[in-house]
Chains A and B, each alone.
Chain A
Amino acid sequence: MAEDHSDISLPLSATGNTPWHGEAPARAVLEAPDIARMLTRIAHEIVERAKGADDVVLLGIPTRGVFLARRLADKLAEITGRKVPVGSLDITMYRDDLRLGPPRTLARTDIPGDGIDGRLVVLVDDVLFSGRTIRAALDAMNDLGRPRAVQLAVLVDRGHRELPIRADYVGKNIPTSLRETVKVQLAENDDRDCVLLGDPPAPAAVRDE
C-alpha cells in the first residue's frame, strides 16, 4: 500500500521543481532470505510480547500485507504449534484521499470466523510511510469490532510520517528521501521476493503510482 501514498505526501517541490536526471533502475535493498529472516524475527517478537500469542489475530492490508500476514501466520504456527487466525482488511472505503482521484477498486475484507472482539489484532502491511493507511485501517476496524489491543507489523519503515503512528514490529528501517520509491515485491503477486528502492522515473509516474 505504501506506493499509494506517494500522491498525497509528495510535496510540490519534489514533483514540480526538482530536475530529473534520467531513469535510475530500482535497486534491490532486501532479497528473499532477508525477508524470510525478518518475518521469522517478527513472529518471535509477537510471541514474546503477546506472551504466547493465544489471542492473536493477524489482519493483512491488501494487497501485499495479506501475503505477509499469511507468511507470519505460518511462522507463528511453527513457533506456537497452534493455528493463528489470519484475515484481510481492505481500507479503500476509509481512505482520506478518495476525493483526490477516481474511485479505487475494492479489495477483499475477510475477518476470521471468531471475529476480532477482545482479541489482540496485529495489522500487517508492507511499507509504513505517511501512516494514513494505518489510520484508515484503525477506522475500518472500528466498524468490525472492538479488539483488546491493536499492534502494527510492517516489513519496511521508510519514515516521513504525517500522523502520530508508529510500528510495533519493523522488519527494517530504510531511511529514504521523499523522491525515492520503495516497492515490496512478493512471490505470491510478483516474480520474486525483494524490496526495491528507486528514484522516481519521472515526476508524473510518481503521482500515478
Chain B
Amino acid sequence: MKRHLISAADLTRDDALLVLDTAEEMARVADRPIKKLPTLRGRTVVNLFFEDSTRTRISFEAAAKRLSADVINFSAKGSSVSKGESLKDTALTLEAMGADAVVIRHHASGAPHRLATSGWIGGSVVNAGDGTHEHPTQALLDAFTMRRHLAGAPDGGPTYHREPGDGTGRDLAGRRITIVGDVLHSRVARSNVHLLNTLGAEITLVAPPTLLPIGVETWPCEVSYDLDPILAKTDAVMMLRVQSERMNAAFFPTEREYARRYGLDGARMAALPGHAIVMHPGPMNRGMEITAEVADSGRCTVVEQVANGVSVRMAVLYLLLGGNEPAITTARTQENNDR
C-alpha cells in the first residue's frame, strides 16, 4: 500500500498483516465505553458513492468517525452528478474543499485508479468497490474474519465456532478457501483471490462456466464447476451474491437450477469439516445462493463480517492518514528501530 488503496494486489504480505494486526487493536476500541479515538482529528474523509451501498458506506462512515475524522457523504443521487457533472469536476470540487482521503465507489472499473493517478486530488484514494474490478477493504475484512476463526486459537489453529480468537501476527498459510457463485461480476472474489493468495491460502473458485471471467486460468487459484467434491476439503466457504442487476443475458437456465447446483443448504453445510465457517459479503439472496437455515446458523459469519469491516476500515484509514506520509512500508522500518 503506498498512498492509495486501489487493489488488493498492491498489498505485500507484510502490508496486509500490518493492516490486519492494526485492525485487531481497532476491534478492541469497539468494546470500550467511549468508542472514539482522537487520532484523525481535523482530517476530512469524503465518501464518494456513485453506486448504491448500505454496509460499505456506513462502515466507512463509522470507521472515520471513530477516529474523529470529519466525514462528508456524497452520493450520486441528489448531487450535481445527476445533472451531468464529470468525475473530474467532482474531484476538483472535493480537492477545493480539502479532502484528505476520498473513499470512492463507482460503477466503472478503474474509476478509483483514474482518481488516484490523474493528479486531480492530493489526498489518499480508497477503493470501496469499482465495477467488477476490486473491493480491497472487503477482502481485508474477509481475511480478518477468516484469521480470527481459522487461526485464532492460542495454538494458531481453528476456534471451532467458539469466540473468535486473536490471530495477531499470523497469516492464512495452508487454509483452504472456496469461493462460490457469480465470480464474473464479483469484485469481492477478485480482491479476495489476490489477498488470500498473498496470505498463503489455497483458493478454489466454484461457479458455472458462464459465471467465470475470461482469463480466470491466470489467477492464482483452482477452478471447479462442481461444488460437492470440494466441500469436505474447505476451511471457509464464501458464497457470492448472484448479481442479477449486472446480468443482461441468461447466465444460467433457472434460479432453481442454480440454487440446486451452487446454493449452500443444510445438507451441503453438513459436508463441511467441523471447524469450517460460512461467509457471505452481503447482501444475501436467501433461497438463491444460501438457504435461510445456513444463513441463520452459528457457522455463518455475515453479521460478524460487518462488525469486522469497521475495524478493518479504521485500520486502513489510520495507516493512510495517521502520519505525515501514508506509507506502510516506512512505518514498519520505523517500528523496528523503535522497539
Give the interface of A toward B (CB within 8 A). 3-4, 63, 90, 93-94, 98-109, 139, 143-145, 189, 208-209
A144 & B33 in contact (Cβ 8 Å cutoff): yes
A–B complex contacts, Cβ < 8 Å, 14 sampled: A3-B338, A93-B37, A94-B39, A98-B323, A100-B324, A103-B319, A105-B18, A105-B21, A105-B22, A106-B21, A107-B25, A109-B25, A143-B37, A189-B339
Minimum distance in angstroms from A6 CB to a CB of chain B: 11
B25:A104 contact, CB within 8 angstroms: no
* 16 more A-B residue pairs beyond the given contacts A100-B323, A104-B331, A106-B22, with a C-beta to C-beta distance below 8 A: A4-B338, A93-B38, A93-B39, A94-B37, A98-B39, A98-B322, A100-B324, A102-B323, A102-B327, A102-B328, A103-B321, A103-B323, A103-B328, A109-B28, A143-B32, A189-B339
Q: How far is the CB of B205 from chain A (nearest CB, A)?
A: 34
Q: How far is the CB of A17 from chain B (nearest CB, A)?
A: 24
Indicate whether B330 reaches chain A with its CB closer than 8 angstroms: yes
Q: Is B222 an interface residue (CB 8 A)?
A: no
Residues of B that sit less than 8 Å from A by CB: 18, 21-22, 25-26, 28, 32-34, 36-39, 318-328, 330-332, 334-335, 337-339
Q: How far is the CB of B39 from chain A (nearest CB, A)?
A: 4
Complex interface: chain A residues within 8 A of B335 (CB): 104-105
Tell me the minimal C-beta distance from B24 to chain A in angstroms: 9
Contacts of A100 in B (CB 8 A): 323-324
Say whether A102 contacts B331, CB under 8 Å.
Answer: yes
Would you call B38 and A101 a contact (CB within 8 A)? no
Min C-beta distance of B17 to chain A, whole Å = 11
Partner of B331, one of A63, A99, A105: A105
**Which residues does chain B contribute within 8 Å of A63, judged by CB atoms?**
339
Q: Given A103-B326, A208-B337, answer yes or no on A139-B33 (Cβ-Cβ < 8 Å).
A: no
Instruction: Decide if the interface of chain B is mainly helix, strand, loop or mixed.
Output: helix
Contacts of B37 in A (CB 8 A): 93-94, 143
A94 to B68, CA, bound (A): 12
Q: What is the CA–CA distance of A100 and B325 in the complex, to the nearest angstrom?
A: 9
Provide the residues of chain A in CB contact with B331, threshold 8 Å: 102-105
Query: By the criterion CB–CB under 8 Å, are A145 and B327 in contact?
Result: no
B332/A105 in contact, CB under 8 A: yes
Closest residue of chain A to B321 (Cβ to Cβ) is A103
In the complex, are the beta carbons of B33 and A104 less than 8 A apart?
no
The CB with the most chain A CB atoms within 10 A, among B26, B34, B39, is that of B39
> Given A4-B338, A144-B32 in contact, is the A102-B38 Cβ separation under 8 Å?
no
B38 pairs with A139, CB closer than 8 A: yes
CA distance A63 to B336 in the complex (A): 12
Q: Closest chain A residue to B326 by CB distance? A: A103
Interface centre among B26, B33, B319, B338 (most CB of A within 10 A): B338
Q: Is the CB of B25 within 8 A of A90?
A: yes
Chain A residues positioned under 8 Å from B339 (CB to CB): 63, 189
Contacting A106 at CB < 8 Å: which of B25, B34, B321, B325? B25
Chain A residues with Cβ under 8 A from B26's Cβ? 106
